Amino acid sequence: MSPDVRLHLWWPTYLILIFTCLSQAFYIPGYSIRTYQNDENIPLLVNKVYSDNSPLQYAYFELPFVCPPTGRKHPGSSFASGHSVPLNLGEVLRGDRIKTSDFEINMGQDVECQYLCDRVVDRRQMKWAQDLIEEGYVTEWILDNLPGATSFTTPDRSKKYYAAGFKMGYKGYDMATGKQRYYLNNHHTLVVRWRRASGRAGDAGGNVIVGFEVYAKSIYGNHRNETGCPLDVAADHDPFALYMSPKPNDDLRTQYADSSYIPDYADMDDGSTLTIPYTYSVYFRETTDIEWANRWDLYFTDQSESSFTHWLAIVNSLIISGVLGAVCIVIWGRTMQGDVRGRGDGVLEEARLRITKFGDKKSLGNGLLEKISEPGPDDDTCSDEEPSEELTGWKMLHGDVFRPPPYGGLLAPLVGSGMQLVFMVGGLLVLSCIGVLNPSWRGGFVSVGVGLFVFAGCFSGYFSARVYKTFGGQNWRKNTMMTALLFPGLLFTLVFVLNLFTWAQASSTAIPFSTLVALASLWLLIQLPLVHIGSFYGYHRSSAWEHPTRTNAIPRQIPPRAWYAQHQIGLALGAGLVSFAVLFIELIFVFKSLYLDKSSYYYVFGFLSIIAALLSITIAETVMITTYIQLCAENYHWWWQSFFVGGASGAWIFIYSIWYYWTRLHIEGFISSLLFFSYSALACAVYAMATGTIGFLTAYVFVRRIYGGVKVD
């Protein structure tokens, strides 16, 4: 059964959350602290299993070797075990499948051992458990919104920190036979750390939970009492091996009985079964040194030591941005020096007035315009020598620099979608920095991101329409439909196709069909009208951006270019490498959190916001430099080039993803690899579109300024 998806009314709720966050120190703004009285039942929720070595996740209760829900209700609870907890959109998209469990946990009541169930599995089900242990899968349980954690200490034992989740089992060797075995953790010790609530709630006997630790142990099934529990849980026990001995009279199994080689019996349906006993213990420990508002800090302690590296990333970004800024200042001084000395741009203005007086190129005649534009022997705006009264270098392009680019009807929707992504990313970073978005709001980052993306459809339509009108487009409805359908349509199609593969793997990573319908509804019923409204306003209620120079009727022939400007793809990739260098160090932490250590949380959004700001500045500086080089080479095809230069670092991020896959990850299997490369390429394309838009707008402002000093309205 697919979990419920609650589609909230986005924006009133988010405004309330922001203001509440600014006034209170809660991790979930507006979320009241949950207090428990003594002996009150605390529901334990089971979610999923996941691994750092695979993008595939599986719902806990869909595993055939764990205790299934019995359907009974706990005292004081209105829901029976196995009930699906309503999830927000972000939780569903990240693969959460949260349900109530049969664990009996009451506030303040220690339980030395409690029998849960005996699970009977066949060889194929046992083989699945072995495969999950082989791939390092961990289990996620939730208590009072805290994920069950494995506890660690720093090497000097001065600090304690958590890693979300706990291992399903481990590999080892049977001391009797010397063969490799898989051991399943079938006993779980739950340690609930609590303290007295502050204020009136504490005076009334209320307690709050500040920590939830799970210690998993493998205990052999024999030597149990009449309740099903081990005789002594704390004693050393032989581990529980996932192994079924060969049947007698089976020639194949007898052949390998004394060998270290283990034949694959998974596909042999011989009726053999294995009974797995499950038990658990519960202990409550009072902790007074952790406040409820700081209870998530233990999940981040192991990352706090990396602050020096984050600052190193910022210093690296500042150096690169500063060097490029110095180059831009030199370029700006060379192009604007005519304003200071009363020459240079005055020549351009004089030529523009002469063209205005006598008409355009068609009425003026090629000879007179060529005479106006003919370079003198000593005129070179790209040198420090005194220019003559003739137009040279980039000034030769004043009649063609604003000529609409080829395929402008495609560039306008891409710029519109890029502005939509910039608004979404900026909103996510701001909300994360002020504490609205954090790990305690499960699925909040994705949910808010989808909401911002849908809402930003109006910005997408507005900017797309204005760029399209500036290019001289006439069919604004066609541009509107392309803006609303092109990028979101490709995105939805790719996700749907990849979802078919995850469906085939019975993974909880697969998006339920009802959620796909909800996403399509958000796209077609909400975002598309918003794009149409923004496009209508941008095309009909706003004027096209006016250019400071006229455009000639006949395009100017582009002269042979210098070696550095001949290969525009190489120029874009080279410029993109500079932008990638700004992001590289911080990207290490992002990739580690996404792929290598999913049990940790990436939380340093303050550093990431600074890096993002420096990245935007660096992209703007890089685009200004490459555009100036291109114009000095008398090449006026800068529109697409600026977009490609801005987004070129996305190609380097994808190359880095490939390197990371081969050197750092241990992903195996066609489906897992397909998902990794497909989603990595999709993420890099989204990044390239956003940064390409920044590059395009920067180049447009730069070109307008040097050709006329007119600001973009």
Give the pLDDT band of residue 25 (cuts 50, 70, 90).
very low
Q: At what angle do helices 307-341 and 605-632 cross, to 10 degrees?
A: 30
Predicted confidence (pLDDT) at residue 7 exceeds the cutoff of 70:
no
Over residues 409-433, the mean pLDDT reads 94
Over residues 519-542, the mean pLDDT reads 94
Residue 496 token pair = 């749907």
Q: At what angle do helices 476-504 and 528-536 cross, to 10 degrees?
A: 160
What's the pLDDT tens digit per position in 320-336?
989 998 988 888 777 66
Give the pLDDT band of residue 261 (cuts 50, 70, 90).
low
Q: What is the pLDDT of residue 712?
A: 37
Q: Which residues contact 464 (CB under 8 A, 6 or more apart)?
A: 412, 413, 415, 416, 417, 419, 479, 480, 483, 531, 535, 538
Q: What is the pLDDT of residue 544?
A: 85
What's the pLDDT tens digit per position in 356-382?
444 444 433 444 334 434 444 444 444
Q: What is the pLDDT of residue 4?
A: 37
Half-sphere exposure of 306 (CA within 13 A, CB side): 16
User: Token match 């988010």: residue?
Assistant: 14
Over residues 133-158, the mean pLDDT reads 90
What's the pLDDT tens digit per position in 210-244?
999 999 999 987 778 888 898 888 888 889 999 98
Residue 265 phi, psi dihedral angles, 5° rounding: -100, 5
* 224 within 8 A of 232, measured Cβ to Cβ: no
- Percent of the chain residues past pLDDT 70, beyond the cut: 81
User: Token match 């089992």: residue?
Assistant: 169
What's the pLDDT tens digit per position in 547-606?
888 888 888 877 776 665 566 788 889 899 999 999 988 888 888 888 877 666 667 788
Comparison of pLDDT for 390 and 413, the residue scoring more:
413
Report the DSSP pairing between strands 87-88 and 5-6. Answer: parallel
- In 3D space, the residue among 4, 43, 45, 52 whose CA is nearest the CA of residue 667 turns out to be 52
**Torsion-angle region of residue 600: left (phi > 0), alpha (psi -120 to 50) or beta?**
beta
What is the distance between the alpha carbons of residues 519 and 510, in angstroms, rounded to a whole number? 14
Q: Distance of CA 637 to CAs 21, 336, 558, 622, 644, Å? A: 48, 22, 9, 17, 12
* 219 within 8 A of 239, measured Cβ to Cβ: yes
Ranges 4-13, 87-96, 457-466, 513-522: which has the least confidence: 4-13
Predicted confidence (pLDDT) at residue 386 exceeds the cutoff of 60:
no
What's the pLDDT tens digit per position in 280-338?
999 999 999 999 988 988 887 656 557 778 888 889 889 998 999 898 888 877 766 54
- In 3D space, the residue among 698, 694, 695, 688 whose CA is nearest the CA of residue 487 turns out to be 688
What is the distance between the alpha carbons of residues 328 and 323, in angstroms, rounded to a whole number? 9
Ranges 401-410, 542-551, 565-574, 674-683: which has the least confidence: 565-574
**What's the pTM?**
0.83
What's the pLDDT tens digit per position in 616-661?
999 999 999 999 888 888 888 899 999 999 999 999 999 999 999 9
What's the pLDDT tens digit per position in 54-108?
999 999 999 999 999 999 988 878 889 999 999 999 999 999 999 999 999 999 9
Predicted confidence (pLDDT) at residue 115 exceeds the cutoff of 90:
yes
Q: What is the pLDDT of residue 247?
A: 62
Q: What is the pLDDT of residue 634?
A: 82
93 membership: H or E segment, kind and range = helix 89-93
Predicted confidence (pLDDT) at residue 272 exceeds the cutoff of 60:
yes
Q: What is the pLDDT of residue 251?
A: 53
Compute, in degrees rounded to 10, the torsion defined by CA atoms 523, 527, 531, 534.
-170
| Residue positions counted in the chain | 713
Residue 633 token pair = 């080479």
Q: What is the mean pLDDT of the chain?
A: 82
What is the distance between the alpha carbons of residues 401 and 387, in angstroms, rounded to a whole number? 21
Report helix, strand or coil for 313: helix
